[in-house]
Amino acid sequence: MRRRETFYLVALGLAVACSAGKSESNAVSRDSLTRRQKDSVIGASKLPGARVVQKAIGVSDSIGAHVRRVDSIVP
Does residue 40 belong to any structural domain of this protein? yes
Q: Which residue has the higher pLDDT, 33 or 8?
A: 33
HEC readout, the chain: CHHHHHHHHHHHHHHHHHHCCCCCCCCCCCCCCCHHHHHHHHHHCCCCCHHHHHHHHHHHHHHHHHHHHHHHCCC
pLDDT tens sequence across 13-66: 767 677 666 555 555 556 788 988 999 999 999 989 899 999 999 999 999 999
28 found inside a domain: no
The pLDDT, as a whole number, for residue 9 is 72
Domain with 41, as residue range(s), is 33-75
Any domain includes 20: no
pTM over 0.85: no
Residue 45 lies in a domain: yes
18 falls within a domain: no
Q: Is residue 50 part of a domain?
A: yes
Q: In total, how many domains does the chain have?
A: 1
